Chains A and B, each alone.
Chain A
Amino acid sequence: MNTTPPYAAYPAGEPVGYRRQTLTITTGELAGHAAALLAAGFRVASVAGHDDGHRLRAVYLFTAAAPDRRFELHVPLDPTGPHLPSLAAVSFPAGRFEREMRDLYGIIPDHHPLPRRLVRHFHWPRGWYPMRHDAGPPPAFGDVDGPYPFRTVEGPGVYEIPVGPVHAGLIEPGHFRFSVLGETIINLKARLWFVHKGVEKLFHGRQPSDAIELAERVSGDTAVGHNLAFCLAVEDALGLPVTTQARTTRAMLLELERLYNHVTDIGALCNDVGHGILNAHALHIREQLLRINAEVTGHRLLRGAIRPGAAAIRRHPDPDRLAAIAADIAEIVAIALGHSVVHDRFAGTAVLTRQQATDLGTLGYVARASGLDIDARRDHPMADLGPSFTVSTHTAGDVLARFTTRAAEITTSIANISDLLDRPGSGGDTDHPDQPRPDPGPRSGVGIAEGWRGTITHRIEIDSDGRLTRVKVVDPSFFNWPALPVALANTIVADFPLANKSFNPSYAGNDL
């Protein structure tokens, strides 16, 4: 990496928003600046195209922990022939974002190692970029951009298993192409993006307060995570104050969401190895948690509790009930890990090494199970979680490590909720009276929250009328999906559903 001499560690930018600096650069300066930031410990949090009408603009958001820092690089581009130097050589996630940006905005990354379509499949017409301001309604599909082949593995005895995009369960569409020798997976390609919904474009033109319902539905099981990241971004942009009480309430809601999702997957992992009775018990606990959610917020999936500048709940959850649930979950986990066949199925299956996890930029429990000590609750803190909060990491990177990481997170979450409830003055939380300060001129904001799958990043831009002009949503699944095929190399086909469930990336959060 060349750390460009004028900067001691990384370039200095203009301060904007919460712990954020911004810098407008030319395409020629991009590679050097990005390399300097990455060398200084930043990670690529999002890369997004922007259409300002008269010009295109690429915004690279880098974040770093300890201390919490955010750094933006703005690269204005000529709308007639937008080109960028590809950063794929220094950052794998950046290369994926570039492909997304090219499909949605027509911004071409030069010398990209994999210059193929990502978000728009081949039947989307060539030259039509849905996020451009003049895109118009979606045109009819046609086979216009040539074939879109899978990598073929050749050799004696190698065969292909195509699975999906329609599956035998209530899950979203994704096509998996296995190249298999006997039972061993040689190559797996996961093709996603079958249901591009245009969520980011649906945000455009809305007032932030009218966009909450949309943010909550980016990925149905992450209503709190995505809405919180969105609200943090709005507060960052508008300079809205948030009371400590509201922050505490938000932190508690985030943990409640983590709880019910982790319990569901703990049971599902047991079910995938044929130990159905543990799944039955986990589902029983999940239902109790969903009812607690409904009592706390009025919605089983915790929708409607968080708004820009505020958080309102109906009542606090009962710590004794949560403690009883924690004991039940601990028992399920102990039974699962004590069962020799279940343990054997989990251990050593679908290993993601620490190096692979780092290179791919994985987030959340996937990263923590491979030994990466990252958690936005500590790295980009939104509320003080107190002494009971710890980041639990494992090093093995297999299904067992992901299972035990999540089991440990359940324990931490419940302890955390109890701590947060004990805070003096945490009862009777109310709306915050502050109104958005009328502020002239366009503004931007960044929100980072640790959803149950991992770090969620939202970056928004607001025009002088207070309307959203651009919302870039980044679900951790965008980073974690590529880790699945990597971990599955040399795993047997029959273990794929188990491995997939242990990663459990979101289709909806990935395909916006």
Chain B
Amino acid sequence: MTGVLVAALQVVVVAGGSPLLVGAMRQVRARLEGRAGPGVAQPWRDLRKLLRKEPLTPRGTTEVFRLAPVLLMATTLVVAAVVPFLTNATPLGPVADLFAVVALLSLGAVALALAGIDTGTAFGGMGASREVTIIALVEPTLLVAIFALSVRVGSTNLGDIVTSTLHDPALVISPVSLLAALAFAVAIIAETGRLPVDNPATHLELTMVHEAMVLEYAGPDLALVEWASAMRLAVFLGLLANLFAPWGIASLAGPLPVAVAVAALAGKVAVLGLALAVGEVFMAKLRLFRVPELLAGSFLLALLAVAASYFLA
């Protein structure tokens, strides 16, 4: 029973905190660039505004377009419930399999790409084409990077990986972990559409990747897409934090360990998010055709991590 409550709490924390994460990242970037910035709560205000608008769908679109935001949100919520964020022993633990989690996250991304094509506009198709190119290069990296961690545990269950790291903290500074963490970080940057792969702040349609796909969404649908995108960012950063530095996670049920786990998760994700935002200030966007080179590099790191996990075991 408590396990169910913790899983529910994970969903609430991710859903409630992710817009604040995005807001904080934008605010940090604004301040570093010498702008005032709209404040940390601005994404929540935007969501409230969008959710109150009337739903609109472009003429000629089908159920694919209407279902994609729901599917994106649903897959993200499931992942938020099952992965070991607050405890490494959730009742849904067996679902938190490496392949299941990556597949669920990809399902949402592919649904959105299909919706982009479904609009029949040039921008939707162009964005979807670019997004799928990037997904195709990112998903293997995600799988292989986490797989490198699972080799030493002998299980692809994320909870087991976290537990083993908790029992043997020295693993964190092993070459396997460091290589995998680096590969995972690059994949996250690409997957969540941050600089230098995609520029989330641009208004130039022709350069967009993620934003071009969702150009036709408006009102509550757009709110769902934006919210789910923020949650995906939080989920990825949370995964990075807990797979490679799981301290603070609640091994025992009880209000106090869970409260500590919430604070630890929020702290770790905030640090990672802010580091990402600060890094973006000093970065420029890569030429589109250079993105595969970057992602190939990250895949190579992940592959090295797997090789290292066999040779150094």
Contact = CB atoms under 8 A, between A and B. Distances in A.
A277 interface: yes
Contacts of A162: 122
A289 to B, nearest CB: 17
A169 B203 contact: yes
A274 B199 contact: yes
A345 B283 CA distance: 12
B284 A339 contact: yes
A492 B288 CA distance: 8
Interface stretch (B29-37, B137-145, B148-156, B259-267): B29-37
A342 B285 CA distance: 8
Given A161-B122, A161-B126, A274-B196, A341 B285 contact: yes
B286 interface: yes
A32 interface: no
Interface string A326-360: 00000000000001011011000000000000000
Interface string A253-291: 000000000000000001011111100110010000000
Interface stretch (B43-51, B204-212, B301-309): B204-212
B27 to A, nearest CB: 14
A274 B284 contact: yes
Given A161-B122, A168-B204, A277 B281 contact: yes
From A180, A284, A492, residue with most partner B Cβ within 10 Å: A492
A183 interface: yes
B280 to A, nearest CB: 8
A115 interface: no
A275 B125 contact: no
Interface stretch (A193-201, A443-451, A494-502): A494-502
A489 B218 CA distance: 34
From A273, A276, A497, residue with most partner B Cβ within 10 Å: A276
Given A168-B204, A497-B207, A159 B285 contact: no
Nearest to A276: B33
B214 to A, nearest CB: 14
A281 to B, nearest CB: 7
From A273, A275, A341, A494, residue with most partner B Cβ within 10 Å: A494
A159 B195 contact: no
Contacts of B206: 161, 163, 493-494, 496-497
A92 B191 CA distance: 47
A160 interface: yes
B53 interface: no
A159 B128 CA distance: 14
A275 B283 contact: yes
Given A280-B34, A339-B284, A345-B284, A492 B205 contact: no
A344 B287 contact: yes
Contact of A276 (B123, B126, B196, B201): B201
Contacts of A284: 34
B205 A344 contact: no
A86 to B, nearest CB: 35
Interface string A149-167: 0000000000111110000
B208 to A, nearest CB: 9
Interface string B25-69: 000010011110000000000000000000000000000000000
Given A275-B283, A275-B284, A341-B286, A280 B33 contact: yes
Interface string B66-77: 000000000000
B287 A274 contact: no
Contacts of B123: 161
A342 B203 CA distance: 19
A277 B29 CA distance: 9
Given A280-B33, A345-B285, A493 B126 contact: yes
Interface in A388-415: none
Interface residues of B, number: 30
From B123, B203, B284, B286, residue with most partner A Cβ within 10 Å: B284
A163 B290 CA distance: 25
A344 B125 CA distance: 27
B288 A274 contact: no
A274 B284 CA distance: 5
Contact of B202 (A161, A274, A345, A495): A274
B311 interface: no
Contacts of A494: 206-207, 287-288
Nearest to A501: B204
A273 B122 contact: no
A162 B125 CA distance: 12
Contacts of A277: 32-34, 281-282
Given A161-B122, A272-B204, A284-B34, A183 B283 contact: no
B289 A492 contact: yes
Interface string A271-313: 0111111001100100000000000000000000000000000
Nearest to A498: B207
A116 to B, nearest CB: 24
Nearest to B126: A161
Nearest to B287: A345
B184 to A, nearest CB: 22
Contacts of A280: 33-35
From A272, A273, A274, residue with most partner B Cβ within 10 Å: A274
B186 to A, nearest CB: 15
A168 B203 contact: yes
A382 B209 CA distance: 49
Nearest to A271: B202
Nearest to A169: B203
Nearest to A284: B34
A84 B165 CA distance: 85
Given A162-B122, A274-B199, A345-B284, A281 B34 contact: yes
A368 B267 CA distance: 54
Contacts of A273: 284-285
29 contacts: A160-B122, A161-B122, A161-B126, A161-B206, A168-B204, A270-B284, A272-B204, A274-B195, A274-B196, A274-B283, A274-B284, A274-B285, A275-B284, A276-B29, A276-B201, A339-B284, A341-B283, A341-B284, A344-B286, A344-B287, A492-B288, A494-B206, A494-B207, A494-B287, A494-B288, A495-B287, A495-B288, A496-B206, A497-B206
Given A284-B34, A342-B284, 20 more contacts: A159-B125, A161-B122, A161-B126, A270-B284, A273-B285, A274-B283, A274-B285, A275-B283, A275-B284, A276-B281, A277-B32, A277-B282, A341-B283, A341-B285, A344-B286, A345-B284, A492-B287, A492-B288, A494-B207, A494-B287
Interface of B: 29, 32-35, 122-123, 125-126, 130, 195-196, 199, 201-207, 281-290
Q: Sorted from nearest, which 3 A-B pairs have the closest CB atoms?
A: A274-B285, A161-B122, A275-B284
